[in-house]
Amino acid sequence: MPAGKVRVTGSGYSTFVYAGKPIAFLNSVEDSGQRAWSDKGQAYSFIQPLGSRTPVEIATSRVLGGGTLQMTIQELWNQAIWEQLAGLSGTNNIVEIFDRLAGSPNYVTAQTIIKPPGTEANPSKWRGKIYHNVTIVDIADGDTLTVGGLDVAKPVVAAYTHSTRLR
């Protein structure tokens, strides 16, 4: 691979936006991706009639399930980690978050945006992923204090119904 072509995530060329705004102290985002859906937990099934020594067909789901985003956010002195997300300031727990999100007329959209070097002024060259109908489904509301610890980062988990590619 040629030198200088590797994507460096901590360089400012990759950003994550929730409800149109970046999360200032976001450490990481882990996208589970979407997998083929099945109510039995397996997105394929071997079709093997009685008397056949081997399956005669493999049936596949062809339906996508939703995905999740696990965001790890640096805790600040004056607010809970989830309050750094647009529209959630002043909420105290997961039920208040559910109420706030349910009271909004529109779902939240989130985006991962990748800006290759030299394209900062040219959005048509950017790529990434758009997450649709994003809903916060879990927050880390507990606490762990460690002697000698320098910072506290906690997860917020959101679910999304589907995603599309940017570009």
Q: Cα(132)–Cα(108) distance, rounded to whole angstroms?
A: 7
Residue with tokens 């805790």: 75
Contact 161/132 with Cβ under 8 angstroms? Answer: yes
State the pLDDT at residue 39.
Answer: 77
Domain ranges in the chain are 9-166
pLDDT digits (tens, 9 = 90+) for 104-121: 989 999 999 988 888 888
Record: fold of 9-166: Elongation Factor Tu (Ef-tu); domain 3 (2.40.30)
Radius of gyration of the chain (CA): 20
> Is the entire prediction scored with pTM above 0.85?
no
